Structure 1
């Protein structure tokens, strides 16, 4: 039982690629020692029993410099027992993107609609959502939602009062603001749920349909989807958490700062307790939005994510065709007063892009996913980790990937 697991953890014998070149471009010289340093970072996490598995891809220009799948797509079951016949991680595995959904799907959709002049960044949200055309909320703009400065609550257990998309939209519209509009950045899932409502209002299409037809198909992202189990055809999916133990703690444990005044944690008890594999981890997306949200819910592969990154690095091109204008791309990837872009993070103090050059943009996902793009060096780093499958620590938290992410970007910048 344990020998096969140890073999995969120590060797990670899936895929290793140095300097893969496109047919039109010959390989650039690479220092094996530098790649070894990057590789050892992931290997140490596996041998230290910190993560079950991972996929990493580093690309510069048209060349994939480093690409590898490590460990297992699932190591433990819901009883925290080692699987007897674990599945090795591959480059083809779908990962629950968590909050990468915000930039991969929602932000890109808003980019496209802005580029097509169907939406203005400084349009009031109330123009599209009547519940926001009030004296309290009528100053909130699309830009505020993208920059997390709309004054919305950072989080709310929507499933206590909503069980589908329309009920969710109504509930968010009823919630009072928690902070002054435009005065500070308070990272909020609710803002990106509202952006999905705007996308649906403008496009007259469900969010998942708009993303598939207008974003993913044109980019060739054929393995990016919501609810992969319902859609069918996807057999390789990395497992995440065993139910929603941390999110339950967010409701019950007031010390975390997420509890809602007047809400009895015991009034709802639909918590999952089994291992999630193909079901989105995010509770609001799963319980209150049937797996589809502007804040979370997308599953994807490293190859598909690279296609989106390539489009952004080429200032809106898909091959030789212009998909989004350079002007719009630059609007979204310019720092605001909060030291971030629109949707994308650009703060060089963030561990995922610590000390990276000006213009670097990135985002992370709670499940363990991350994308970092360094335009100055024409380089990108995609790391997909299903850290939650290891379970909660004794302190009731998931393993902190911040130090690893910081070391990875430091190693990549030396390549």
Structure 2
């Protein structure tokens, strides 16, 4: 454990460290890293276990690269929408305005950017891009032609398809590939080791799942099949990052919020509740909101999480490759994620 940044409670850090150690000891995760800090300060790190058996005795640390899975939504697409898309396509405008040639009878074309970010679009919940293979048609049009499963704006349902569409829209409007846009974004933010895959197999890259006995483990490739079908570059998943880069990102967001810069105003707007998820939790624009709207966070299926609290100035990033052993990581990681939320929330200790 490093020296605790200001405003962090040592009891909270001890609980987080002990919980991570327990998860490593019982085989829930091979290992993991927690990055934590306060706006404007240097981050601290807690680490446990190994990167993976394939990496020998290499221990995870601030520069270990992890598959972010759905954290891609808030590390790639969400900031790009605020920076690039909002001025060209208002949040309340149908996305068809950004997709020339989309037929008027394509129901998905009438959903808005706001509804996609709030997961109230009514688009199909299953992603299943494999069904479109060899269709010869534009992917955005294929997704938009699918029947809606609910009236847009009326029901919260977590949907990957909307963020895939936002990635396609960003590329169409800017005339740049999504990975080109994110490379520029992450470079500007100082996130030097954040990128879309594929990555080479190395001891600083955390492997994930072995899909079939005897087959190679996923290593440097997205765990998400649909991201793989898109060449590893997708709006909903596919990015890789390090605990150190996530700390850099979180600190940049909190500093921007404090300075009321455009990025900070985008974060503030995004922390306005858009839809109820369950008692005590709301959906903002992309982010989940907790602690009466004072904390914004998001999870990734592979075993990652990111938490921000402008109210306390604290942030926390959790990086594990929990799907290395198990698919049921939501239950196994629940205690650690609950402690993380408590640690960043206002008045937690």
For Structure 1 versus Structure 2, the TM-score category normalised by the shorter chain is 0.7 to 0.9
Structure 1: distance between partners of 2:91 and 2:8: 43
> Partner of 1:361 in structure 2?
296
Structure 1: runs of 5+ lacking an equivalent: 1-15, 21-27, 76-82, 246-271, 349-355
- Superposition pairs of residues 9-28 of structure 1, within 5 angstroms: 16-19=1-4, 28=6
Does structure 2 retain, via aligned residues, the 8 Å contact 1:100–1:369? yes
| Structure-2 residue corresponding to 1:352 | none
In structure 2, what is the Cα distance between the partners aligned to 1:228 and 1:164?
Answer: 25
Do the aligned residues in 2 keep the contact of 1:55 with 1:90 (CA within 8 Å)? yes
Deviation at 1:119, TM superposition (A): 2.4
Which residue of 71, 76, 79 maps to 1:105?
A: 76
Is 1:383 aligned with 2:318?
yes
- What's the CA shift string for 1:18-49, capped at 9, x where partnerless? 225xxxxxxx4876444322211111111222
User: How far apart are the structure 2 equivalents of 1:296 and 1:100?
Assistant: 7
Show the 5 A alignment for 1:219-298.
219-229=189-199, 236-243=204-211, 273-286=215-228, 288-298=229-239
* Change in CA separation of 1:85 and 1:61 when aligned onto 2, cut-off 3 Å: closer
Q: Would you say the 8 A contact 2:37–2:315 is kept in 1?
A: yes
* TM-score, length basis structure 2: 0.88
TM-score (norm 1): 0.74
Aligned to 1:403: 335
How far did residue 135 of structure 1 move?
6.3
Q: Deviations over 1:160-198 (max 9, x none)?
A: 323799754343133221221111111100000000011
- What do you get for the CA RMSD once the two structures are aligned? 2.8
Give the deviation of 1:153 after TM superposition.
1.0
Give the conservation status (yes or no) of the 8 Å contact 2:16–2:336: no
5+ residue gaps, structure 2:
277-281
Does structure 2 retain, via aligned residues, the 8 Å contact 1:94–1:301? yes
Correspondence for 2:93: 123
1:351 maps to which residue? Answer: none
The question of 1:333 aligning with 2:301 is answered: no
Larger Rg: 1
Report if the CA contact (8 A) 1:192-1:295 is conserved: yes
1:212 aligns with 2:183: yes
| Structure-2 change in CA distance of 1:166 and 1:228 (3 Å) | farther
In terms of mean alpha carbon deviation, does 378-387 or 324-333 score higher?
A: 324-333
Q: Is the 8 A contact 1:35 1:66 kept in 2?
A: no
Task: Tell me the number of residue pairs that the alignment of Structure 1 and Structure 2 aligns.
Answer: 340
Match of 1:184 among 155, 161, 185: 155
Q: Distance in 2 between matches of 1:118 and 1:42?
A: 43
